[in-house]
Structure 1
Amino acid sequence: MSRAFVKEPEGGEAFEDLPDRPISPHANLVTPEGLAQIEAELAQWHDAHAQAQATQDRAAISHAGRELRYWTARRANAELVPPPEDPDEVHFGAAVTIDRADGRHQTWRIVGEDEADPTQGTLSFVSPLARALMGKRVGDTVMIGTAEVEIVAIG
């Protein structure tokens, strides 16, 4: 067939069918801050989608639509976790300080998957480190990889 009869993409078709962002199979546990973050993302992507529609930017419409679907799903299945009954035990939402054998002190807050950012001191509750710490108390030791760490504070 001659190339004269083949419709070429006009630039937007490649963006029309962006695959959805994967949704975690784990429960969507959130802290109050995590729930606020989800709601802020929803508002931001609603605005971005409206702006993209107003300018008829097909790529931006597709991207914003994808993000809206993701954050709408995350909001729909978000489970706000109340404070624990035993604050002396590592739990979801707690800040945990550990001492490593090399002398480093590290503090991590255990949060939901969408709000986790290890560079900011937050860990997802499904991460190996968070799972190893859950349910432990000050003075307990935990194996993290091949190293043993001690829990020195829970907040």
Structure 2
Amino acid sequence: MSRAFVRETEGGEAFEDLPDRPISPHTNFVTPAGLEQIESEVARLQAEAAKLGPDDKADTARVTRDLRYWTTRQGTAQLVETVAGDTVHFGSTVTVLREDDTPQTFHIVGEDEADPHKGSIAYVAPLARAITGKSVGDVVEVNGHDVEITAIKVG
């Protein structure tokens, strides 16, 4: 075949086919802070999109893809208000004692707001699943290791 009849990628056309960000199959539970984070991200991306010009093909593709993701997440978000209780649930801040006697405290949140380095884990994480519904003093096994719940707080 002659090269004259083969379409070459020009400029930023290769960026037009960015794959969508994967959407979790789990229910999109969010804390009030998580919903605020999603809304803020949508607003930021809309503002960024408004500033892009026709020559900003790569940035347009990225922003459009991310805006699709966050708009979808905003539309499926199910706000869960935290309530006081004696058991671990979505929105709880939990302290556990690991087998090596190291305490670890974390907040159970939605998938998009989870950041283990900042002390929050997704409600679908193995540790969160293992301790949900449990109380102070309960010991559970997570990935072959025991953890004891030593404190539960709301928020």
Do 2:31 and 2:82's aligned partners in 1 also have CA atoms closer than 8 Å?
no
Cα distance, 1:77–1:106 mapped onto 2, change above 3 Å = same
Deviations 1:130-155 (A, max 9, x none): 00010011111111122211100001
In structure 2, distance between residues paired with 1:26 and 1:2:
50
Structure 2 counterpart of 1:90: 88
Shifted more, 29-38 versus 17-26: the winner is 17-26
Q: Secondary structure at the match of 1:114?
A: coil
Task: Indicate the residue corresponding to 1:56 in structure 2.
Answer: 55
TM normalised by structure 2 equals 0.93
CA deviation digits over 1:26-52, x for unaligned, max 9? 100000000000011101111121122
Gaps of 5+ in 2: none
Letter in 1 for 2:130: A
1:37 match:
37
Deviation at residue 7 of structure 1 after TM alignment: 3.5
- Alpha-carbon distance between aligned partners in 2 of 1:20 and 1:7, rounded to the nearest angstrom: 24
Per-residue CA deviations over 1:118-141 (Å, capped at 9, x if unaligned) read 111111001111000100111111
Aligned length: 153
Q: 1:134 aligns with which of 128, 132, 155?
A: 132
Residue 20 of structure 2 corresponds to which residue in structure 1?
Answer: 20
The code of the aligned residue for 1:97 comes to: T
Deviation >6 Å, runs of 4+: none
Shift of 1:98: 0.3
Give percent identity, aligned residues only.
56
- Offset, 1:8: 2.2
Q: Which whole-Å CA distance do the structure 1 matches of 2:104 and 2:5 have between them?
A: 64
Distance in 2, Cα, partners of 1:83 & 1:118: 20
Paired residue type of 2:127? L
TM-score under structure 1 length normalisation: 0.93
1:65-122 deviations in Å (ceiling 9; x for gaps)? 00110000000010000223x5211010111000112120000110000001111111
Secondary structure of 1:151's aligned partner: strand
